[in-house]
Amino acid sequence: MSRNANLTPLPGSCAACAVRPFALFRVIPQARVGEIARIRSGVRLVRAGDAILDSIFTMYAGWAFSWTATPDGRRQVLDFHLPGDLVERSEDAAEVEALTDSSFCILSRERLCAFMGRDPGLAMSYVDGLTRDRARMRERLTSLGRRDAAGRVAHLLLELHGRLLRRGGADARGAAVPLKQAHLADALGLSVEHANRALAALRKDGVATLNKGRLEIMDRTALEDLAGWAGLPPPESLAPQTLAG
């Protein structure tokens, strides 16, 4: 098999872009798509495992992820980037790496800013993305802070499934999810071994499986219960026990 088999080229024109309905430029009406051509500063195809150095781009095909290294040689995965996502390699020390063979559309920050200055709708779309990112980070934070291993895995799987569903990349039973267990572990603050055990528990209980790049959800309710802290106590006992004021 050719070493390029999985590299999906981008269409020449934004008008034909399959991910635009879910991407930054979703707010630009079809009739005006021609105007955004100058914001594109190029496309790139990268292989799984390659570092991505471009500073701002829209994922077209494949998955990427942002991460930071800890001085003791481990990783924290900060976020996963799916087709349609706008990704910025930020000032902070985060690296971006292709998780699968990927292709994306590189933007000119300067021209994007100029365009947003003229088009408040586009600026809003950009702000939307930032706000969503922040909300996702907050959920992730809650996971790492207060969920156990099974809950973290369940929550992340549901998050990814939801994101994929919204862009038509999944159905209710499952989706293509090319994560290795090491990605899960590094995103969730777990050791690979423990991520494996959590996944094994899900499998054994007939809740969900992650295998050969595919997520299968067999019992969504059970998965949601795990992610939402299974045995909910009765509502009247919901009062926080710390910081009670």
Partner DNA sequence: CGCGACTTTGAACTGAATCAATTTTGGTGG
Partner DNA sequence: CCACCAAAATTGATTCAGTTCAAAGTCGCG
- Given the rule CB under 8 A, which residues bind a copy of itself? 48-49, 66-76, 78-79, 90-92, 94, 97, 113, 116-117, 120, 123-124, 126-127, 130-131, 133-135, 137-142, 144-147, 180, 182-183, 185-189, 192, 228-229, 232-233, 237-243, 245
Of the pair 41, 181, the CB lying nearest a copy of itself is at 181
Of the pair 136, 194, the CB lying nearest DNA is at 194
Of the pair 147, 161, the CB lying nearest a copy of itself is at 147
3 state DSSP class of 21: helix
3 state DSSP class of 60: strand
**Which whole-number Å values give the CA distances from 181 to 46, 157, 210, 225, in the listed order?**
22, 12, 9, 22
For the bound state, the minimum distance from the C-beta of residue 8 to DNA, rounded and expressed in Å, comes to: 16
Could you say which DSSP state residue 35 is in? G
Interface contacts to DNA, rule CB under 7 A: 1, 3, 148-150, 180-182, 189-194, 196-197, 199-200, 211-212, 244-245
State the binding partner of 75 from DNA, a copy of itself, none, CB within 5 to 8 A by kind: a copy of itself
Catalogue the long-range contacts made by 45-49 (C-beta closer than 8 Å, 24 or more residues apart).
45/7, 45/8, 45/9, 45/101, 45/102, 45/103, 46/98, 46/101, 46/102, 46/103, 46/104, 47/7, 47/98, 47/101, 48/98, 48/99, 48/100, 48/101, 48/102, 49/97, 49/98
For the bound state, the minimum distance from the C-beta of residue 64 to DNA, rounded and expressed in Å, comes to: 15
State the binding partner of 200 from DNA, a copy of itself, none, CB within 5 to 8 A by kind: DNA
State the binding partner of 193 from a copy of itself, DNA, none, CB within 5 to 8 A by kind: DNA
186 alpha-carbon distance from chain centroid: 14
For the bound state, the minimum distance from the C-beta of residue 19 to DNA, rounded and expressed in Å, comes to: 24
Of the pair 58, 174, the CB lying nearest a copy of itself is at 58
Handedness of CA 47, 50, 56, 62 (dihedral sign): positive
Of the pair 127, 200, the CB lying nearest DNA is at 200
Rg of the chain over CA atoms, in angstroms?
19
For the bound state, the minimum distance from the C-beta of residue 136 to DNA, rounded and expressed in Å, comes to: 21
Q: Give me the helices (H) in 119-219, please.
A: 120-146, 149-166, 181-188, 192-204
State the binding partner of 34 from a copy of itself, DNA, none, CB within 5 to 8 A by kind: none
